[in-house]
Amino acid sequence: MTPAARINAAIGLLDEILDGRPAEQVLLRWSRASRYAGSGDRAAVRDLVYEALRRRNSLAALGGRLSGRGLMIGLCREAGQNPDEVFTGATYAPEPLSEEERAAAGGEAEDLPDWLLPLWRHSLGADAAAVARAMGARAPVWLRVNPLRGTVTEAMAMLAEDGVEAEASRDLPSALRVTSGERRVNGNRAYREGLVELQDLSPQLACAALPLREDDRVLDYCAGGGGKALALAGRQSQLRLFAHDAEPARMGDLPARAKRAGTRIEQVSQPKGVFDLVLADVPCSGSGTWRRTPDAKWRLTEAMLERLFETQAEILDEAAGRVAPGGHLAYMTCSLLKPENEAAIDAFLARNAGFTQVSRQRWTPLTASDGFFMALLKHN
């Protein structure tokens, strides 16, 4: 595909996404239907779509309209390219610009939903604008080295076999940031054999900070794909790990992932007894990860957020009931919004006198990688 044909394809896909269809679904269907598109074309079209969604409002202002065409015209202009050179009307290229499109001049536009701006500013204070800008850029790929399978040096050597280069985090040496070859990670031996797992830096930092003793009984109460439970398994091989999720189907990949990682995690539909550590990695707005899922940023509504606050409080209370006296409860979100984080914990502590706070921390793309929050509470 020519660069103009890729842009033309992205225009059609963006129009579908702007109509309300999830980006991943739209891209997958297009990939399956477009046999003429090679893997390089697919990756390039995907990148165009995601770039446009991350900076949807500012690109629409530059392109003159919130539409697939407007976003792609804006993207050309942002990159310093004259859109007339791309929008030529030649075979597979988009139609030439209208007078109105040619006259569009851009202007001030925040790449966040309007309704969210006050809450974003309240939550991030002086960092609000810088974090919003960071959310407009592509996210780095981070790997977690699994010590049950080998060392950091071995992992880096194996990754290099496929030209994947990575560097260790200064804050956590077992966290590797991929600096080149990120699309080759999944096929690499280190990944296939469980020596590395894809996981962003901030949840890795959070899991590394949790108190763990040999033989502890640990419950991952909202286990999903098991990313956090697997990170803990790597830290302490003698743990007794249990995974639970209100939607057990979400744990479908967990047995295979645990096997690949060289560990065992027991799935439980009804957790029995109490645990030394309970993780509550609750459903949230995902506002800390909007670089990776930019269409979610535009789909979130106030009503959805209100429902999330209720769910988060319910899960906290349920999970708290599973913590042994003297044990810990770790509340986690990949959100940057105070009502899902600090305020949720303050409210929990106000209605649960048996718990005290040990620590709380929020990471933003300015200090770590994705936005993430963890509060560690102790059951007295």
> Could you say whether residue 234 binds ligand SAM (CB under 6 A)?
no
> Could you say whether residue 339 binds ligand SAM (CB under 6 A)?
no
Taking contact as CB under 6 A, which single stretch among the options 35-43, 65-73, 244-252, 291-299 is the one that binds ligand SAM?
244-252
Contact 63, 69 (CB under 8 A): yes
281 belongs to an annotated ligand binding site? yes
> Could you say whether residue 228 binds ligand SAM (CB under 6 A)?
yes
Taking contact as CB under 6 A, which single stretch among the options 13-21, 29-37, 87-95, 226-234 is the one that binds ligand SAM?
226-234
* Binding positions for ligand SAM, 286-325, rule CB under 6 A: 311, 315
In the bound state with ligand SAM, the residue whose beta carbon lies nearer, of 43 and 246, is 246
Among the listed residues 349, 351, 339, the one whose alpha carbon sits nearest the alpha carbon of residue 377: 349
Q: Which of 177, 240, 250, 292 binds ligand SAM (CB under 6 A)?
A: 250
Taking contact as CB under 6 A, which single stretch among the options 84-92, 166-174, 216-224, 372-380 is the one that binds ligand SAM?
216-224
> Could you say whether residue 344 binds ligand SAM (CB under 6 A)?
no
Q: Which of 100, 108, 247, 310 binds ligand SAM (CB under 6 A)?
A: 247
**Which residue do the tokens 């770590």 mark?**
368
In the bound state with ligand SAM, the residue whose beta carbon lies nearer, of 240 and 250, is 250
Least Å distance between CB 184 and ligand SAM? 23
Q: Which of 23, 62, 195, 223 binds ligand SAM (CB under 6 A)?
A: 223
Q: Which of 63, 64, 68, 224 binds ligand SAM (CB under 6 A)?
A: 224
- What's the chain look like in SS3? CCHHHHHHHHHHHHHHHHCCCCHHHHHHHHHHHCCCCCHHHHHHHHHHHHHHHHCHHHHHHHHCCCCHHHHHHHHHHHCCCCHHHCCCCCCCCCCCCCHHHHHCCCCCCCCCCHHHHHHHHHHHHHHHHHHHHHCCCCCCCEEEECCCCCCHHHHHHHHHCCCCEEEECCCCCCEEEEEECHHHCCCCHHHHCCCEEECCHHHHHHHHCCCCCCCCEEEECCCCCCHHHHHHHHHCCCCEEEECCCCHHHHCCHHHHHHHHCCCCEECCCCCCCEEEEEEECCCCCHHHCCCCHHHHHHCCHHHHHHHHHHHHHHHHHHHCCEEEEEEEEEEECCCCHHHCHHHHHHHHHHCCCEEEEEEEEECCCCCCCCEEEEEEEEC
Over the range 201-221, which residues count as b (16 or more CB within 10 Å of their CB) and which as e?
Answer: bbbbbbbbebebeeebbbbbb
Q: Which residue is nearest to ligand SAM, using beta carbons?
A: 227
Least Å distance between CB 133 and ligand SAM? 25
In the bound state with ligand SAM, the residue whose beta carbon lies nearer, of 74 and 203, is 203
In the bound state with ligand SAM, the residue whose beta carbon lies nearer, of 6 and 362, is 362
Q: Which of 5, 72, 201, 222 binds ligand SAM (CB under 6 A)?
A: 222
Q: Which of 22, 106, 225, 262 binds ligand SAM (CB under 6 A)?
A: 225
Residues near 359 by beta carbon (within 8 Å), at least 6 away in sequence? 209, 374, 375, 376
User: What is the Cα–Cα distance from 377 to 353, expressed in whole angstroms?
Assistant: 11
In the bound state with ligand SAM, the residue whose beta carbon lies nearer, of 58 and 202, is 202
Q: Which listed residue (76, 222, 284, 334) is catalytic? A: 334
- At position 313, the amino acid (one-letter code) is A
- x/- letters, 261..290, toward ligand SAM (CB under 6 A): --------------------x-x-------
In the bound state with ligand SAM, the residue whose beta carbon lies nearer, of 87 and 331, is 331
In the bound state with ligand SAM, the residue whose beta carbon lies nearer, of 161 and 253, is 253
> Could you say whether residue 227 binds ligand SAM (CB under 6 A)?
yes
Q: Is 334 a catalytic residue?
A: yes
Q: Which of 221, 275, 290, 363 binds ligand SAM (CB under 6 A)?
A: 221
Detail the residues annotated as belonging to a binding site for S-adenosyl-L-methionine. Answer: 245, 281
Site residues (vs ligand SAM, CB under 6 A): 221-228, 245-247, 250, 281, 283, 311, 315
Query: Which residues are tagged catalytic?
Result: 334
